[in-house]
Amino acid sequence: MENRNDYGVIEKKAEVRKKAANVITYALLILWAVIVLFPFYWMVLTSVKSYGAYNSEYIPKFYTLSPTFQNYVDAFTTVSLGRYLMNTAIFTVVTTAIMLVVITLAAFAFARLDFRGKNIVFVLFLSLMMIPNELVIITNFVTITDLNMRNTFQGLILPSVTSIFYIYLLKENFEQIPNSLYYAAKVDGTSDLKYLWKVMIPISKPTLITITILKVIECWNSYVWPRLITDDERYYLVSNGIQEIRENGFGRENIPAMMAAVVVISIPLIILFLIFRRKVMAGVARGGTKG
């Protein structure tokens, strides 16, 4: 009898402890979620406050009762936000497209073709992966300046169309495709390029999509190179555009309009992420760092 009671007490205690641990866990997780989400909430909130309302709030309010979309109109009319978005879209699409061609060809060569010096070249490629961008950007800046390609799309795009890491990733993927398929295609007289196009690319589609998404994120957020290479506002990408808006745009401290621009800049990638959530996270886990 006593014994049974003891078990009951122990069980109850364990349950209480488990519940307490659960509460603490959820509290911690919710706290971090709030810290992550709050800046997003604040930027959307500020972007729908009117200029007058925002500036008269000495103590900032957590809500607004009279939302306005005027700031979004201002963001597209007073400063060239539309142009920045367009430039960034062009830059992102062209860079990603060229890069996909370059890395696919290179990965195919490493994975499927035999040629002298292949292993040495591959090792050299891998060792280049350790070179930080900061070390080569100085000469690239001088090169592009000397080629008179400042303030052009070529100047923006050319240095970013190869990625050794993505070549490596794709090569690993290509190598998993059985050799027998390749020899069968050879017997049928299929050319290498056709084989690559008809067999390897379709099989490797998931990896290619992951690479594409990661590259798009990188392009959309790139700041340093575009800043060095463009000083003409007509070629600014969104990162430089927002910096320009902060320092010279909108006149005196029109923060609501600035936040409207920030919302517009942030939305495309957030939508992309929500659609391809699993792919993005798996891709980043496999080898992305921010920057």
Partner 1 sequence: MAGKRSEHNGAKGWLYLLPALLFLGAFMVYPLFDVFVYSFEEGYHSASQTYFGTGLYNYSYVLHDPYFLQAVKNTLILVVITVPLSTGIALLISVGLNSITPLRNLFQTIYFLPYVTNTLAVGLVFMILFQKTAYSDGLINLMITWFGGSAVDFIDGPYWAKMFVLCFYTIWVVMPFKILILTSALASVNQEYYNAAKVDGTSAFRTFMRITLPMISPMIFYLIITGFIGAFKAYSDVVALFGTNLNAAEMNTIVGYVYDMLYGDSGGYPSYASAAAILLFCIVLTITCINLLISKKNVHYS
Binding to partner 1 in span 257-276, by CB under 8 A: 258-259, 261-262, 265-266, 269-270, 272-274
Residues 229-258 that bind partner 1 (CB under 8 A): 238-239, 242-243, 246-247, 253, 255, 258
Q: Return the number of the residue (155 or 207) whose C-beta is nearest partner 1.
A: 155
Judged by CB under 8 A, the chain residues 61 through 100 that form the site for partner 1 are none
By C-beta, is 86 or 128 nearer to partner 1? 128
Q: In 3-state terms, what secondary structure has residue 33?
A: helix
Q: How would DSSP label each residue in 206-238?
A: HHHHHHHHHHHHHHHH--HHHHHH--SGGG--H
How many CA atoms are closer than 13 Å to the CA of 5, on its beta-carbon side?
A: 2
Q: Count residues contacting partner 1 (CB under 8 A)?
A: 92
CA distance 57 to 63: 12
* Nearest distance in Å: CB 257, partner 1: 12
Secondary structure (3-state) at 204: coil
23 binds partner 1 (CB under 8 A): no
Interface positions, 94-113, toward partner 1 (CB under 8 A): 101-103, 105-106, 108-110, 113
Of 63-71, 72-80, 171-179, 224-232, which segment contacts partner 1 by CB under 8 A? 224-232
- Which tokens sit at 226? 């575009």
**How far is Cα of residue 202 from the mean position of the Cα atoms in its chain?**
24
Choose, by CB under 8 A, the member of 43, 89, 90, 149 that binds partner 1.
43
Residues contacting 141, CB < 8 A, separation 6+:
228, 229
- By the rule CB under 8 A, 288 interacts with partner 1: yes
